[in-house]
Amino acid sequence: MYYLGIDGGGTKTAFILINEDGEIISFQTKGSCHYVQVGMDTFRQVLSEGITEVTGKAGINNSDLAYVFCGLPGYGEIKKDI
């Protein structure tokens, strides 16, 4: 069982993969995923590439992830996006 954490920010996005014992299995850093700053295409690209890279380093598939926790910047800052 694996858990993926994504911490998005205005300058970088960090991806961390841990196992059920809390051991760090894989870590990856990408550019900003703040959709207001980089646009939706780059937002999707950063998340997709980061998830693919962090799971690939660990040799697992997305289906092996029990939970994914995301902290993503910008959501709620523009009323029409809520």
Distance of CA 23 to the CA centre of its chain: 18
Give the pLDDT of residue 27.
98
In sequence order, what DSSP letters do the residues of 52-77 get, joined into one string? HHHHHHHT--GGGEEEEEEE-TTTTS
Give the pLDDT of residue 36.
86
Where do we find the tokens 């051991």? 23
For residue 32, give the amino acid letter.
Answer: S
Give the pLDDT of residue 82.
53
N-to-C CA span, the chain = 32
pTM of the shown model = 0.88
Q: What is the pLDDT along the chain (82 residues), one digit of tens a residue?
A: 999 999 998 899 999 999 999 999 999 999 999 988 899 999 999 999 999 999 999 999 999 999 999 998 876 676 666 5
Q: Does domain 2-81 have CATH number 1.10.357.10?
A: no
Determine contact, residues 62/55, Cβ cutoff 8 Å: yes
